A = this chain, B = another copy of it.
């Protein structure tokens, strides 16, 4: 059976860039990971089941339905063969607080081998978000970003205890993208 790796990081940390770089580096060595976006995968499950027609409806689902869809998506992902990288949120900031993106029922279905947290200094994240016009609406200060990253770290350690998976922190600092890619590739190798 292949490796099941979960990749998380707050919006703007540059998670996708690091993952793509690491996958490219590993591919040259013949190590293949299939990338899976948990949210998109869950939408496809919901659409196939006739529960939603478009992605906007996903956010308005009843809590019980959402939980059931999360479980179904996790089970389907767990059945995939070969190495997989599951891109998802450790938690999402909502007016009701941090909503865990990897609750117990998702974890017990996925049984991950590794959880990678991509992090960097909150001020760097703030500046990256300021340069991205699509993120302007939900702008928060660097204090809020630091709280979010701290929450994710704590959640990650709880996930480690609950599932036994390793928890790898990869720093994606300004001017040091190549280092982040190499570190992630080394963990995935």
- Chain A interfacial positions (CB closer than 8 Å to B): 63, 67, 91, 94-100, 102-105, 107, 113-116, 147, 150-151, 153-169, 186-187
Copies in the assembly, this chain? 3
CB-defined contacts of A165 to chain B, threshold 8 Å? 100
Q: Contact between B187 and A104 (Cβ–Cβ < 8 Å)?
A: no
Within 8 Å by CB of A161, from B95, B102, B168, lies: B102
Given A114-B97, A187-B95, answer yes or no on A157-B166 (Cβ-Cβ < 8 Å): no
CB-defined contacts of A157 to chain B, threshold 8 Å? 91, 98, 100, 151, 154-155, 158
Q: Which 7 A-B pairs have the closest CB atoms?
A: A97-B168, A154-B157, A158-B158, A103-B164, A97-B166, A96-B166, A154-B154
